[in-house]
Amino acid sequence: MIKDVSDYKIVEDFISELKVMMYLGQHSNVLNLLGVVTSNITQNELMIIVEYCEYGNVSDLLRNNRSQFINQINFKYDIIDSTIRKRNKIYAKRLTSNCDNSTDEISNKLTIEPITTTDLVYWSLQVAQGMDYLTSRKILHRDLAARNILLCPNNVVKICDFGMARILQNDEYHIEHRRELIPFKYWPPESLQKQKFSVYSDVWSFGIVMWEMFSLGSPPYPDVDSFSELCKRLDDGYRLSKPLYATEAIYNIMISCWNDDHKLRPLFDLLEMNISQLLHPVFSSSMESFECESDKDDCKYGSRSLEYSCSSSNRNNK
């Protein structure tokens, strides 16, 4: 919402984001535009209406609920073992989202089932699907981060915040000339040094998002304080280390996104396939061994969710 349309810069940014969202269209893993309210424009107010994602962003959600996270990694075999969820169920407490809905007179606290390693893989797949859709629409996000991934009911995540997004015209790349605050810890070397953006720069950011998820909301490069220091480290070959809650296979996907040669980074359709291969055995095991002990409405892994994650039918929104 804009409360002062007299500020030209704010209005310009608002209109730019609105144009991207209108052009983008609808997808299940993208925050969808529902409408724009201009009735109070004479009072210097503009509003954009989007889908409501009641659980907030996954960065805060993970960070605020680390103590209840269920780590499903079998360290002996370095694989995800979904049966660990069942064994730990008796100890799992319901956790609280960070969403504050002041209009709710009964309670402003929402509860969800404890987050598991399987959830992190599933969310990563959905983000890749959403970004693949953006790619098909020739849109660069340029601010992909865990703080811009929202969690909705049925364990669905949606990419949001298109304030820095750009629509590619005829070129494969976008060169940014305008100076503004930038999320430099999410950008690849070619964007940091040459202000050059492409789908491959969004792929780099996706690797950072995966790292955030599997470190349960930790900030990337916590020991790096400046733009110039990060540029030097990346030039020297430095990369984020494997998060505690990731397997080697998951970390290899992250590393593939951070290749110095941007052309060697996997595009989002390939990332979808690679992450799906991690999900298939996990969900096959879940189908055989996991019995939901909570109410049916609270169970995240019903057949509907399984079908969604393990098939490409979700792409019919493209």
Q: Convert the pLDDT of each residue in 246-298 to its tens digit.
A: 999 999 999 999 999 999 999 999 999 999 999 765 555 544 444 444 444 44
Sign of the torsion formed by the C-alpha atoms of 282, 285, 289 and 295: positive
Residue 40 and residue 100 share a domain: no
Phi, psi of 304 (to 5 degrees): -60, -45
Report whether pLDDT(310) > 90.
Answer: no
Q: Hey, which residues are catalytic here?
A: 143
CA dihedral 184, 188, 189, 194 (to 10 degrees): -80
C-alpha distances out from residue 308 to 14, 24, 303, 315, Å: 33, 22, 9, 10
Residue 167 and residue 42 share a domain: no
Domain tally, the chain? 2
Higher pLDDT, 208 or 111: 208
Asked, for residue 1, whether it belongs to a domain, the answer is no
* pLDDT, average across residues 61-72: 94
Residues 6 or more apart from 302 whose CB is under 8 A from it?
Answer: 292, 296
Task: State how far Cα 60 lies from the chain centre.
Answer: 12
Report whether pLDDT(303) > 80.
Answer: no
* pLDDT, average across residues 52-78: 94
Q: Alpha-carbon distance 252 to 146, whole Å?
A: 19
User: Mean pLDDT over all residues of the chain?
Assistant: 81
Enter the pTM of the model.
0.81
Q: Alpha-carbon distance 146 to 126, whole Å?
A: 13
User: Per mean pLDDT, which range of 176-180, 190-194, 224-228 is the poorest?
Assistant: 176-180
> What secondary structure letter does DSSP report for 184?
G
Residue 36 and residue 104 share a domain: no
Report whether pLDDT(92) > 50.
Answer: no
Residue 92 and residue 20 share a domain: no
Q: What is the model's pLDDT at position 61? A: 96
Residue 128 and residue 229 share a domain: yes
* pLDDT, average across residues 125-139: 97
Q: What is the model's pLDDT at position 306? A: 34
207 within 8 A of 260, measured Cβ to Cβ: no
The per-residue b/e assignment along 241-277, b for 16 or more CB within 10 angstroms, e otherwise, is: ebbebbbeebbebbebbbbeebeebbebbebbebbbe
Residue 78 and residue 27 share a domain: no
Report whether pLDDT(90) > 90.
Answer: no
Asked, for residue 2, whether it belongs to a domain, the answer is no
Q: What is the DSSP string of 258-279?
A: T-SSGGGSPPHHHHHHHHHHHH
Higher pLDDT, 180 or 31: 31
SS3 51: coil
Task: State how far Cα 296 lies from the chain centre.
Answer: 26
* pLDDT, average across residues 288-316: 40
Residues linked to residue 112 through DSSP beta bridges, in sequence order: 95
Residue 215 and residue 317 share a domain: yes
Beta-strand pair 156-159/166-167: unpaired
Domain of residue 84 covers: 53-318
Report whether pLDDT(218) > 60.
Answer: yes
* pLDDT, average across residues 9-17: 78
267 within 8 A of 135, measured Cβ to Cβ: yes
